[in-house]
Amino acid sequence: MEERKAALLKTVKGVCVAAGTTLLCMVLLALAVVFLRVSDNALFLLNQLSKVASIFMGAYFAVGPGGQRGFVTGAAVGFVYMVLGYGIYWAFHGSVSAPLVMLGEMLLGAVLGALSGAVVANLRPRKRRKTA
């Protein structure tokens, strides 16, 4: 039971980090649109890159370098992040994309999260300094 609780808390932590990264990216995108006159195509690409960065950061903080179950934890972070993103979009906008498009993006989020988690789990953890 403790393992499940720890896994759930890691996933929640990862989703929160991903959401925070998204907010930071959205502020930077807004500044880019205002000051750099970014085109619609570039804005679409930058938005997709912000999703990738957010999922990676969420998986990084959920799994941690050298962590356990990186693939599963990362997939959970990516999937939940995408589901919450669509839920928030629906709440504010009142409409959503076609169901197959949403499902595809949610699955891509899970795959990206799984790959990110696997990479992070295979990173060498930092060595802690010994205190005298």
pLDDT in tens, 28-51: 999 988 898 888 899 889 999 999
Q: What is the pLDDT of residue 74?
A: 95
Q: What pLDDT score was predicted for residue 86?
A: 87
On the CB side of 6, how many CA atoms lie within 13 Å of its CA? 7
Chain centre to alpha carbon of residue 52: 7
- Mean pLDDT of all residues belonging to the chain: 90
- Distance, in Å, from the CA atom of 18 to the CA atom of 62, rounded to the nearest integer, reads 10
What does the block give as tokens for 28? 């930077």
| Token pair in block for residue 30 | 């807004």
* Residue whose structure tokens are 């996933």: 11
Residue 106 corresponds to which tokens in the numbers above?
């949610």
For the chain, list residues with pLDDT below 70: 128-132
CA pair distance 92, 72, nearest whole angstrom: 30
CA 112 to chain centre: 9
Residues 38, 40, 45, 50, Cα dihedral to 10°: 70
Q: Which residues, other chains included, contact 122 with Cβ-Cβ below 8 Å and sequence gap of 6+?
A: 66, 70
Domain boundaries, given as residue ranges, for the chain: 2-121
Q: What is the pLDDT of residue 1?
A: 78
- Name the DSSP letter for residue 35: H
